[in-house]
Structure 1
Amino acid sequence: MASQPKHPVDTVPPAPKLAALGVQHVLAFYAGAVIVPLLIAGSLNLDAETTIHLINADLLTCGIATIIQSMGVGKRIGVRLPIVQGVTTTAVSPIIAIGLGATDGEGGVASLPTIYGAIIVAGLFTFFAAPVFGKVLRFFPPVVTGSVLLVMGTSLLGVSANDFVNYAEGVPATRDLLYGFGTLAVIILVQRFSSGFLGTLAVLIGLVLGTGVALVLGDASFSEVSSAPALGITTPFYFGMPKFDVVAIFSLIIVMIITMVETTGDVFATGEIV
């Protein structure tokens, strides 16, 4: 008996295509991933070394979560869909409030153990509440999950706008606007007029061309990269043992409930695509 042809969703592209698409995913995901620790570090008055450690931990955790989610563990963990696990900006304001509240508004490294304690408990709550949450999915029709995704996307416009320009005396710099709109125009044009595999690399092409122009004009530099360590090590309890505050824990549990709804919308949308 002839074997059944493999469904396009289950087809693995050749290694060069996988590499190109993977690089695009990393670059598109990276800015959104690092903005959260940067916002938190800035609001909590953390030094550069601490900020770098938070970014390392952020990227490592996102990578581990992506592997678990896409490949799955056992029968009940992971949706086994092509989803890149990132971070949610929903938690930024509560985390900052927890950190400032734990240190009487001073912030600093001393605020992090309380934040980590709340994150640990909220994470465990989410893990064990997931099966119960899965049983009420019938109350989340497409109109609900679609609305959540729309609100989630529009809520990120403010963050994207701050990344889009550097403000000089309250006025966006003209060159920054040109870089932003130029990169966006390249992405749109590639998607509009390219077909096949090249069209799927529109974001990567836009990022590479935009960065290349900035390098040529002297507005970007990789000089700091040569002095940075090649490998960043993330160690458990780097900032000390976590502290468990009831109010902080309850705040992040509420955030995680909202995030569960967001994630459900993401999973449903990805499921529809594939």
Structure 2
Amino acid sequence: MNTTQVKTTKLRPEDERLPLGRTLAYGLQHVLTMYGGIIAPPLIIGGAAGLSSEEVGVLIASCLFVGGLATILQTVGIPFFGCQLPLVQGTSFASVATMVAIIDGGGGIQAVFGAVLAASAVGFLIAPFFARIIRFFPPVVTGVVITMIGISLTPVAANWAMGGNSKADNYGSLENIGLAGITLLLALLLSKLGNAAISRLSILFAMVLGTVIAVLLGMADFSKVGNGTIFAFPQPLAFGWPVFELGGIISMLIVVIVILTETTADILAVGEITGSKITSRRIADGLRADMASSILAPFLNTFTQSAFAQNVGLVAITGVKSRFVVTAGGGILVILGLLPVLGRVVAAVPTAVLGGAGIVLFGTVAASGIRTLSKVKYEGNLNLIIVATSIAFGSLPIVKTDFYDSFPTWFATIFDSGISSAAVMAILLNLLFNEMKFGTPKNNASVFAAAPPRMVREEEVRGLRDGDHYEAGKLIDADGDEIPVVSDDDFKDALITHQLKVVTGVNNQANAEKQRGRRQNTQQSTTELNHA
């Protein structure tokens, strides 16, 4: 039994092991893809809390270090922890608005750490519940969520392409957008090359070449790389012990529920891309790793951890499904957290370069969702209205960022994310239309039901000949004779009968030939005897 289990595990796509050099290269590509996203929360929170540049540096190093540990736990996995999929973990951006609100409310950064710790502990306890709802995530739901992950990340790519800092003088300049466009073009051209290795590393090479171009144009500054310490271990509780405030904990608990929803969607998305089997047990292990990392985070001066959706796109576009590649990326993050000088090198990569790469990556996530939706059956049901309403509903906070400004904070926290709002709508509509059969119209009675396109299967066309035509509900051949239209079972029975007749006829013909041969032999023998 154990031998069979080991063999099955080795056959999983995500268990593929690549040579060390390629593993490190692909891992670095993952780090560069998510680096801007992982350092954004500490920059925002540090600024809101009024921390000095050195203290903000501590937050950034802690985010990199804990994100690396969380990634290693998620990809390698231990009993009950880690989904063992190529998922990159890092500081969740979903909690930024709530953490800023806690700071503005007078709680300070210690209250933020306390809220993260308490809410993550509750999230850890309810993680198995989320794992049991996998049956409510059919392709019509997962396709919507995966599509919305890509769509909701598009503004992030646009912001990066414009320069990343809206307060900078050159934000949105043609230079920044042009640099992003060059990086995008390089990624596409490198993907077009016949060499498979170059094609898979096209995003990394494009970012490197884009950075070189930025240096030549004077748009990249590496002068500050040498400033600061080379090695530094994150100091536990560098900002003091966490402070627990009920209001902050409740607000953060809502965020944790959103994170659990998004991580579940990311696990399902990666499973769809890699072709891996996703079970409720596997989701539970992934969510427990998510929350365990978030519980550890406040003690090491950082915040809630979650799966990074942008790296899901990198898995899709490169086709590299090995979880050990992402493990290598986690190791690089840990080293960056211990070696601030390396982090400063990566941080010097122009944000516009990341934006050019992000357009491809995030678009690929949306394309993966569309591919999933293409497998959904739309005939005789209301799946079309589920997809249409959920995507439109999830797009509201993306196309109109102030849509939920007048709503209560707890409501806005949940639905201000295009991913979570689309997920909630898709799940509820799937329950209403597909699980609760009462009242649902049948036979495409709804105006929202999709009319199936007119088409004929290829194997059916092969049976037609020139002159065959359909007349008065009957199929007529060129001679005017009717061709019977039968069911699949009747066709199989007729085919078997025909084959038996053919075989019987061949056998009869063979027997007849044998009999004819015997008669000829008998006649020849009789003739010879008469002559004798």
Alignment partners' CA distance in 2, 1:171 and 1:52: 24
| Residue 159 of structure 1 pairs with residue 163 of structure 2 | no
User: Could you list the per-position Cα deviations for residues 54-100 of structure 1 after superposition, in whole angstroms to 9, with x for gaps in the alignment?
Assistant: 111111111111111111122x1110112111232211111111111
Alignment partners' CA distance in 1, 2:251 and 2:12: 43
What is aligned with 1:144?
141
Q: Structure 1 length normalisation: TM-score?
A: 0.88
1:18 to 4, 18, 23: 23
What is aligned with 2:70?
65
Alignment partners' CA distance in 1, 2:158 and 2:47: 17
User: Could you list the per-position Cα deviations for residues 216-248 of structure 1 after superposition, in whole angstroms to 9, with x for gaps in the alignment?
Assistant: 222212221112222232122111111101111
User: Amino acid of the residue matched to residue 77 of structure 1?
Assistant: F
Q: Is the 8 A contact 1:148 1:261 kept in 2?
A: no
What is aligned with 1:210?
210
User: Could you list the per-position Cα deviations for residues 106-148 of structure 1 after superposition, in whole angstroms to 9, with x for gaps in the alignment?
Assistant: xxxxx10000000001111121211122112222223323333
Which secondary structure state, in structure 1, belongs to the residue aligned with residue 186 of structure 2?
helix
What is aligned with 1:179?
179
| Residue 94 of structure 1 pairs with residue 94 of structure 2 | no
Alignment partners' CA distance in 2, 1:55 and 1:196: 35
Q: Is the 8 A contact 2:146 2:269 kept in 1?
A: no
Instruction: Give 1:103-142 correspondences, 5 Å limit.
Output: 111-142=108-139
Identity, in percent, stands at 36
Q: Structure 2 length normalisation: TM-score?
A: 0.47
What is aligned with 2:50?
45
Which secondary structure state, in structure 2, belongs to the residue aligned with residue 86 of structure 1?
strand
Alignment partners' CA distance in 1, 2:112 and 2:52: 17
TM-fit CA distance, 1:41: 2.4
What is aligned with 1:80?
84
User: Amino acid of the residue matched to residue 134 of structure 1?
Assistant: A
User: Amino acid of the residue matched to residue 184 of structure 2?
Assistant: L
Alpha carbons of structure 1 residues 243 and 8: separation in structure 2 relative to 1, 3 Å: closer
User: Amino acid of the residue matched to residue 219 of structure 1?
Assistant: M
| Residue 248 of structure 1 pairs with residue 241 of structure 2 | no
Instruction: Give 1:255-270 correspondences, 5 Å limit.
Output: 255-270=255-270
User: Amino acid of the residue matched to residue 132 of structure 1?
Assistant: F
Alpha carbons of structure 1 residues 260 and 165: separation in structure 2 relative to 1, 3 Å: same
TM-fit CA distance, 1:195: 4.3
User: Amino acid of the residue matched to residue 57 of structure 2?
Assistant: I
Instruction: Tell me the matched-pair count.
Output: 263
Alignment partners' CA distance in 1, 2:171 and 2:67: 35
Alignment partners' CA distance in 2, 1:180 and 1:232: 33
User: Could you list the per-position Cα deviations for residues 149-199 of structure 1 after superposition, in whole angstroms to 9, with x for gaps in the alignment?
Assistant: 433443333333332224666872221111111111111222234442211
Which secondary structure state, in structure 2, belongs to the residue aligned with residue 224 of structure 1?
coil
Instruction: Give 1:194-209 correspondences, 5 Å limit.
Output: 194-209=194-209
Alignment partners' CA distance in 1, 2:147 and 2:141: 10
RMSD: 2.2
